Amino acid sequence: MSTVRRAAVVLAAVSALALTACGPADDHAGGGTDGPTASPAKPSGPSTSATPSKPAKPAASPGKGSSGGSGGSSSDPDYDVFPCSTYDVKFTATLAEPTTSSYLLKVTNKGTKACTALGHPSVTFGALDGQAAKRGAAPSIEHAIRLEPGKSAYAGLMGGLKDGKGKTVNTIAMTMDTESDLAQTPLKAPTPDLYVSPDKNSVTTWMNNAEDALSL
């Protein structure tokens, strides 16, 4: 083989090697579609793998009664209704039966909140010792009369025929049953010539109407 021909063959082989070595690198560098692509950068926002915070638990339901007992709840209409005292009501006494000196007693809620007329009124007679006996059984607290502002309850003060054993008084005083040690200022009402017998004067429980109060 001549020297010129041999040099041409060697040059062709070197060129082929150069093309083979540089081809893939050039394709990758030039952004060819056949090569692998780089992964896009992740956004810099908050991580989606973090556990979301739990919402706050709702407050526990309030217990019944102001001290958590079973006395009532905020959904109970009588939840905050207390027994009426003499500070909550105005008081009158009206002669109902002159022959027996029987009087109709009436209390009216003069406040702005409801209260409950419990049991019997406590009635005393002027300067005389003692008080009227309780007539009939008093209803339970659950069945006591609820007095809304401006509403009234009634009781009957029963007297007796003048038998010469008693005395006549011109006023009576009344306090309410509060089932507590609450000090009350007695409410007074005029009762002209009320005859007080040692064993015949009695008073009924509070009632919704005058007719029932005077029929016992």
Phi first, then psi: give them for residue 126, nearest 5 degrees. 50, -130
- What is the C-alpha to C-alpha distance for residues 71 and 63, in angstroms, rounded to an integer? 9
CA 185 from chain centre, in angstroms, equals 30
Q: Give the pTM.
A: 0.64
Beta-carbon contacts of 124 under 8 Å, excluding residues fewer than 6 positions away, are 130, 131, 132, 172, 173, 174, 186
Between these two residues, 96 and 43, which has the higher pLDDT value?
96
Of the candidates 90, 178, 120, 109, the residue with the CA atom closest to the CA atom of residue 148: 109
- What is the C-alpha to C-alpha distance for residues 166 and 32, in angstroms, rounded to an integer? 127
**C-beta atoms surrounding 6 within 10 Å:** 10
- What is the C-alpha to C-alpha distance for residues 84 and 114, in angstroms, rounded to an integer? 8
pLDDT at 76: 54
Domains of the chain by residue range = 82-213
**CA dihedral over 168, 173, 177, 181, signed as positive or negative:** negative
**C-beta atoms surrounding 87 within 10 Å:** 13
The yes-or-no verdict on residue 127 having pLDDT over 70 is yes
- What is the C-alpha to C-alpha distance for residues 21 and 13, in angstroms, rounded to an integer? 13
- What is the C-alpha to C-alpha distance for residues 206 and 82, in angstroms, rounded to an integer? 16
- What is the C-alpha to C-alpha distance for residues 78 and 176, in angstroms, rounded to an integer? 19
Of the candidates 65, 89, 81, 150, the residue with the CA atom closest to the CA atom of residue 116: 81
Contact by Cβ (8 Å): 107, 145: no
Mean pLDDT of all residues in 129-142: 91
pLDDT at 185: 96
150-174 confidence digits (pLDDT tens): 999 999 999 878 888 899 999 999 9
Q: How many CA atoms lie within 13 A of 170 on its CB side?
A: 0
29-38, 87-96, 118-127: the lowest-pLDDT one: 29-38
The yes-or-no verdict on residue 87 having pLDDT over 60 is yes
Selected from 3.40.1130, 2.60.40, 1.10.10, 3.30.1370, the CATH number assigned to the domain covering 82-213 reads 2.60.40
Element (H, E) at 152: strand 152-158
